[in-house]
């Protein structure tokens, strides 16, 4: 398994798992317009996941010695177990209330915005074109989610408290977004993956600005020193991922190869 394969699957898993989480809101959004919005974002993310998985599957097809089974975007999504997933812990966290979902989306969209902004210049043409395509959509997600963080954080007492609660819960999962895993380090040198040290301060600046406009406490040094939970990129997940997979993969596990 090459570093490029691991990296591509990592990008795909991030998009798939958050896309799946967001899709849990479809039909349950607080108002119709926002139900449509979160479902559309889910669709965009799953589209990104498909592009990355298709690319990763091509790589494995090229190295058939690894396995005699056919690798496809579907086998990557539906037939791997939790420890083989390389998504960040943030995206697998439960939806919680609408505020927590919005904040999680904002943290992630801000990360994707800077990540894809760099990745579109990758020496790997396929990764570059997937990123360039998705960047326009991610820009839209970032704008939407940041506006909602401000609206809710600086809204009523109830919405403010809920956002503060979500921030306290989710913050510990944000450090991992910009901490490189072993498979990224070499790829950075080759000009393929994004140097997360470049995007970390950009992410921090954006998040600090939005949280402070949203009147949410904790944008100071206290959060900078906070302890961060990591491990997702290397396959060590919170308990929540297993439950997501149990639901998402059930059909393909129970009826292998079935199609719609």
Q: Which residues bind another protein (CB under 8 A)?
A: 33, 36-37, 39-41, 43-48, 50-51, 113, 125, 128-130, 132-134, 136-137, 139-140, 142-144, 146-147, 150, 210
| Residue 41 structure tokens | 């974002």
The least CB distance from residue 126 to another protein, in Å, is 8
Residue number, 198 or 202, with CB nearest to another protein: 202
Residue 13, helix vs strand vs coil: helix
Which residue's structure tokens are 């059909």?
A: 251
Residue number, 159 or 230, with CB nearest to another protein: 159
| Residue 217 structure tokens | 């406490």
| Residue 154 structure tokens | 């600086």
Residue number, 39 or 252, with CB nearest to another protein: 39
Residue number, 44 or 89, with CB nearest to another protein: 44
Q: What is the rounded CA–CA span in Å between residue 27 and residue 233?
A: 31
The least CB distance from residue 40 to another protein, in Å, is 4
Residue number, 43 or 169, with CB nearest to another protein: 43
DSSP string, 45-99: HHHHHHHHHHHHHHHHHTTGGG-SSPP-HHHHHHS--GGG----HHHHS---SHH
The least CB distance from residue 44 to another protein, in Å, is 5
Residue number, 79 or 135, with CB nearest to another protein: 135
Contact criterion met (CB below 8 Å) for 113 and 142: yes
The least CB distance from residue 50 to another protein, in Å, is 8
The least CB distance from residue 55 to another protein, in Å, is 10
| Residue 195 structure tokens | 């140097």
The least CB distance from residue 144 to another protein, in Å, is 6
CA-wise closest residue to 152 among 163, 143, 142, 141: 163
């Amino acid at each position: 398994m090459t570093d490029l394969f691991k990296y591509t699957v990592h990008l795909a898993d991030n998009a798939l798992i958050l896309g799946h989480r967001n899709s849990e809101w479809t039909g349950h959004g607080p108002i119709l317009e926002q139900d449509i919005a979160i479902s559309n974002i889910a669709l965009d993310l799953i589209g990104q996941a498909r592009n990355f998985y298709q690319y990763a599957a091509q790589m494995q097809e090229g190295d058939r010695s690894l396995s005699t089974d056919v690798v496809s975007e579907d086998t990557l999504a539906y037939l791997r177990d939790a420890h083989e997933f390389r998504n960040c812990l943030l995206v697998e966290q439960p939806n919680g209330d609408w505020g927590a979902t919005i904040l999680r989306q904002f943290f992630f969209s801000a990360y994707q915005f800077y990540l894809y902004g760099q990745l579109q210049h990758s020496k790997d043409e396929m990764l570059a074109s997937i990123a360039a395509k998705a960047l326009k959509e991610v820009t839209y997600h970032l704008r939407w989610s940041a506006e909602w963080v401000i609206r809710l954080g600086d809204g009523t007492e109830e919405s403010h408290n809920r956002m503060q609660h979500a921030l306290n819960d989710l913050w510990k999962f944000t450090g991992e977004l910009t901490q490189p895993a072993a498979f990224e380090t070499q790829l950075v040198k080759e000009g393929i993956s994004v140097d997360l040290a470049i995007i970390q301060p950009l992410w921090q600046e954006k998040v600090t600005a939005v949280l402070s406009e949203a009147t949410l406490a904790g944008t100071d040094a206290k959060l900078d020193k906070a302890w961060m939970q990591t491990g997702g990129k290397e396959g060590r997940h919170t308990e929540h991922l297993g439950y997501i997979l149990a639901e998402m993969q059930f059909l393909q596990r129970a009826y292998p190869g079935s199609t719609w």
